[in-house]
Amino acid sequence: MDKERFLHLVEKYLSGKTVPEEEKILFKYYNSFQKNDGEEGGDSIVSDDQKRVILGNIQKEISKENTRRLWAKQFLKYAAIGILLLGAGYFFKTAIINSSKETPLIPKENSITLEMENGKTKIISEDATIKIKNNQGNIIANQHGNQLVYPNEADSEELVYNTLRVPYGKKFRIQLSDGTTAHLNAGSSLKYPVRFLPGMERRISLTGEVFLEVKKDSAHPFIVNADNLNIRVLGTTFNVTAYPEDETSDVVLVEGSVQLNSDGGNQEPVLLKPGFKGSYDKKAHNIDTREVITGIYTSWMNGDLVFRNMTFQNILKKLERHYDVVIVNNNKRLSSEKFNASFGDDPLIKVLENLKTTYNIDFKIDKNQITIY
């Protein structure tokens, strides 16, 4: 893509006129610079850390919406050119903000837990390799580091449930007895049978965020319950976000097909196609769909944080979950404003410094609590 085409897409993106396919091209082209180590003109004189800071700041400016759009539109013409020059080995000066001289951040230490069929709770250590046993001493699952695997060998004639809870700041993975894989994000829980029974639907329930790769079995439909939203699948790959405090429960379909229906409304079931997001409004009890870039909603599995059209308050909540901290927002001016933002697998202090620069905020750190001003 030449510079003129790139700048044209930036202009369209800022004015909200890009279609999903154009956004894919824009993000793919932008991402190529993050992987470019200075192919033209020899080695780049910009270090990887500097490049990440520069490109990260440019991307955040590209992402800003609403009241900042007119200002950003002019700025980004030059920022976009900067990306092109940076890829050719030119050097951009960028202000590196010194960390606030506050009490060092001390994250809390929470544990992943597994609730057994009798209500007792086991602590799951992420670096352990152990066998999980039931009340009778029979092995029902094997843990290998950050993954729990349930073999389809347990001899049971009734459904017996386990519940895995993942605290803030951590992620975990489960392979269910049918071969379905569930990736749990921070602040999530999943209730599921130790073994699915022949002739019955496969049913699980969740809160929080889970990415599912469902094993195809047409004789045993797979049902996911997320509060009042029910997701019916055969074999597919999709992401579910259903945190209690969110206004909507969202399903983003990567492959296959799913059917969405709610318990509280009169709407007919909605069939979702790959590349689409279905959003269940918890107050209105209706389901809306729109086309999206699925990678934005699954990036959390790689440790990235990507926010689209999200309020500042909700962005802070997701940062709380990701880093296992408490964030108090005293900057009410920004609370309900919506933004696009993107952070890689960066330390929290770097994220806060970027927020300080981009949104003109200040912050104070006291152990595991951050106060935004």
**pLDDT tens track for 137-191:** 889 999 999 999 999 875 667 899 999 999 999 999 999 999 999 999 999 999 9
The neighbouring-strand residues paired with 270 are 260
More reliable by pLDDT, 80 or 348: 348
Which of 161, 152, 245, 141 has the alpha carbon at shortest distance from 203?
A: 161
* The token pair that represents 281 in the structure block: 């409004």
> Is residue 205 domain-shared with residue 322, that is, in the same domain?
no
Instruction: Tell me which DSSP letter residue 316 carries.
Output: H
> Is residue 127 domain-shared with residue 165, that is, in the same domain?
yes
Angle at 271 between CA 195 and CA 165, to 5 degrees: 35
pLDDT at 197: 92
> Is residue 125 domain-shared with residue 264, that is, in the same domain?
yes
> Is residue 265 domain-shared with residue 328, that is, in the same domain?
no
Q: Position 66: which residue type? A: N
Q: How far is C-alpha 145 from the geometric centre of its chain's CA atoms? A: 22
Residue 76 has pLDDT above 70, yes or no: no
> Is residue 138 domain-shared with residue 258, that is, in the same domain?
yes
Give tens-digit pLDDT for 275-296.
999 999 999 899 999 999 999 9
Question: Residue 362 is part of which domain span?
Answer: 310-372
CB atoms within 10 A of CB 344: 17
Mean pLDDT, the chain, integer:
79
53 band by pLDDT with thresholds 50, 70 and 90: very low
Would 18 be classed as within a structural domain? yes
| DSSP assignment of 90-108 | -------PPPP-SSPP---
Would 303 be classed as within a structural domain? no
Dihedral pair phi/psi, residue 32, rounded to 5°: -65, -30
Residue 367 has pLDDT above 70, yes or no: yes
> Is residue 192 domain-shared with residue 120, that is, in the same domain?
yes
Would 69 be classed as within a structural domain? yes
* The token pair that represents 258 in the structure block: 């799913």
* Percent of the chain clearing pLDDT 70 (strictly above): 71
pLDDT at 355: 86
The neighbouring-strand residues paired with 238 are 212, 253
CATH code of the domain containing 362: 3.55.50.30
Q: Which of 87, 120, 136 is the last residue of a domain?
A: 87
Burial class (CB in 10 A: 0-12, 13-18, 19+), 259: middle
> Is residue 213 domain-shared with residue 336, that is, in the same domain?
no
| DSSP assignment of 123-166 | EE-TT-EEEEE-TTS-EEEEEETTEEE--TT---SS--EEEEEE
360 band by pLDDT with thresholds 50, 70 and 90: confident
Provide the whole-model pTM: 0.71
> Is residue 150 domain-shared with residue 254, that is, in the same domain?
yes
pLDDT at 30: 56
pLDDT at 7: 65
CA–CA dist 118, 140 (Å, integer): 14
pLDDT at 98: 38
Would 304 be classed as within a structural domain? no
CA–CA dist 313, 330 (Å, integer): 10
Give tens-digit pLDDT for 197-236.
998 999 999 999 999 999 999 899 999 999 899 999 977 9
More reliable by pLDDT, 298 or 136: 298
Give tens-digit pLDDT for 20-51.
677 667 666 655 554 444 444 444 433 444 44
More reliable by pLDDT, 10 or 299: 299
- CA atoms 61, 342, 308, 85: torsion sign: positive
Would 47 be classed as within a structural domain? yes
- CA atoms 305, 210, 294, 37: torsion sign: positive
CB atoms within 10 A of CB 356: 16
Phi-psi region of 270 (alpha: psi -120 to 50; beta: other; left: phi over 0): beta
pLDDT at 214: 96
Q: Which of 273, 296, 319 is the last residue of a domain?
A: 296
**SS3 of residue 62 by DSSP:** helix
> Is residue 245 domain-shared with residue 329, that is, in the same domain?
no
> Is residue 122 domain-shared with residue 228, that is, in the same domain?
yes
Q: How far is C-alpha 245 from the geometric centre of its chain's CA atoms? A: 16
**SS3 of residue 215 by DSSP:** coil
Cβ–Cβ < 8 Å for 286, 315: no
CA–CA dist 150, 174 (Å, integer): 8
> Is residue 283 domain-shared with residue 327, that is, in the same domain?
no
Would 7 be classed as within a structural domain? yes
pLDDT at 10: 67
- CA atoms 185, 191, 196, 200: torsion sign: negative
256 band by pLDDT with thresholds 50, 70 and 90: very high
Would 197 be classed as within a structural domain? yes
CATH code of the domain containing 128: 2.60.120.1440
* Count of domains for the chain: 3
> Is residue 163 domain-shared with residue 21, that is, in the same domain?
no
Would 93 be classed as within a structural domain? no
What average pLDDT does range 192-200 have in this prediction? 93
Give tens-digit pLDDT for 86-128.
443 333 333 333 334 455 555 456 899 999 988 899 999 998 9
Q: Which of 267, 296, 325 is the last residue of a domain?
A: 296
